[in-house]
Structure 1
Amino acid sequence: MSAALEITNLRKSFGQAEIIRGVDLQIMPGERHAVIGPNGAGKSTLFNLITGRFPQTAGVIALHGHDLKGKAPFEINRMGLSRSFQITNIFPRMTVFENVRCSLLWSMGYRYSFWNMVARSQALTEGAEAVLEQINLQTRRDIPAGMLSYAEQRALEIGITIAGGADVIMLDEPTAGMSHSETDYIVELIREVTVGKTLVMVEHDMGVVFGLADRISVLVYGEIIASGTPEEVRGNPRVQEAYLGAALEADH
């Protein structure tokens, strides 16, 4: 079986500063993979390289065997990779339903057209309703998205991320700033909506990481110092020294 996402000798420099320093990473289809590491390790830069927001300085990023070099973010999205952002990224004045419907347009064949009446499309409406049911926001369907609670807004963003049918989902700190009950809600949602998909996430909450991930990679100063199952990573002395011990203490 070939990798869903394969990264080989990836490097990224900003001027003289090398932020990503020879990252190798292989993520298999259906795997839930967490990338952890201290602040400033390069996690967000790595996400931005994979999704085409930054060009790589060197190395290869391949999605299902296809090199992503030079691809714009929208092209990568249409190849089957979708992401959420660290800061909630929704249309606050549009309804919850309209937000989801917008995210379905391209995947359901709607292109740049002034005369397509999307409100009349039964297939589009049914598709949006199905996503709302997946993310448990049916009862919030017709309110402006900006009026949702913080956890509900994050749930909506996850819905937008999965709506287009991407099979590789990237989530950037999906539980950041949440209470324990909100975190539990989002974790269960992520578990449900990513069944059969490949999940890559950056997350600081070690309870979330060890509860969700099949495999974990530890990024420190732009290098992956360990990659393996949660048990392997938890027991790795180098990881404990560089990051994990302090992170676990901070969670308690």
Structure 2
Amino acid sequence: MNAITDTTPALAIEDLRKSFGKAEIIRGVNLRIGKGERHAVIGPNGAGKSTLFNLITGRFPPTSGKVSLHGKNLAGMAPFQINRMGLSRSFQITNIFPKMTVFENVRCSLLWSKGYRYSFWNLVSKSRDLTESADAILDQINLLNRRDLPAGVLSYAEQRALEIGITIAGGADLIMLDEPTAGMSHSETDYIVDLIRKVTEDKTLIMVEHDMGVVFGLADYISVLVYGEIIATGRPEEVRANPKVQEAYLGAALEAEH
């Protein structure tokens, strides 16, 4: 078993590859993301960003290569097993229970970490600890005043905030967000960015995002994925100035922002 040290990265990817039939989508990705780092993965549509997320979280098995979480190889693990090791993610499409209340959505996501698991005889409604923990998360994501509403009636930005609350509720120390501000207005984006900054404090954040204002405002490091390969990784200012990145993606993306 690998020993975990202060220098062990939160996430390590080694020569990761994924093919669907003859089409190679991820082509030898290598990446190390340190503990507490905020890391953005950017690139054009079709670059393989969501596929990379699915490989990391166990939704897709890799064709070859290795993914390690806190030094432990994730090979062969199911998504729920990876989640219980401390990795949680959101999706491009909002993934909530619309007919359940906002409170019930968060409470459900707390059950495993609070020790309920497969205990069918415990009434969760009677658990003070569970209720207080769910309310604390709702307060953190600014939805306490929406507590008893069906989640489906929330605004789009509020639903995304709820999904972030669900993502962090299990106590994961590595959070993966897939296009968290997609389809939002400027004011909604500002709201979600502030929320992400707050709830991921002292955690490791990996996000896919197309809004360059969000990327450069949040990320400590940026990796650029183009046609399944990372062509650059570095601090935001280094990536912005990289000629290869300008040519392949960033120049057009920044122009699209204006």
- Range class of TM-score, shorter chain: over 0.9
Q: Distance in 1 between matches of 2:135 and 2:185?
A: 28
The alignment status of 1:67 with 2:73, answered yes or no, reads yes
Indicate the SS of the match to 2:239: helix
2:155 is equivalent to residue 142 of structure 1: no
Q: Provide the C-alpha distance between the structure 2 equivalents of 1:70 and 1:13, rounded to a whole number of angstroms.
A: 17
| 1:130 Cα deviation from its structure 2 partner | 0.6
Match of 2:84 in 1: 78
For the residues of structure 1 that align with 2:187 and 2:211, how far apart are their CA atoms? 13
Query: Any residues of structure 2 matched to 1:1-252 within 5 Å, and which?
Result: 1-252=7-258
The CA deviation string for residues 121-180 of structure 1, in whole angstroms up to 9 with x for no partner, is 000001101100110000000000000000000000000000000000000000000000
- Distance in 2, matches of 1:54 and 1:19, equals 12
Stretch of structure 1 that moved more, 108-117 or 222-231: 108-117
- 4+ aligned runs moved over 6 Å, structure 1: none
Q: Percent identity?
A: 81
CA distance in 1, matches of 2:170, 2:233: 30
- Cα distance in 2 for partners of 1:113, 1:86 equals 32
Q: Distance in 1 between matches of 2:120 and 2:73?
A: 34
What TM-score, normalized to structure 1? 1.00
- State the alpha-carbon separation in 1 of the partners of residues 121 and 236 from structure 2: 52
- How many positions carry a matched residue from both structures? 252
Question: Secondary structure of the equivalent of 1:225?
Answer: strand
Structure 2 alignment gaps of length 5 or more: 1-6
Deviation at 1:94, TM superposition (A): 0.3
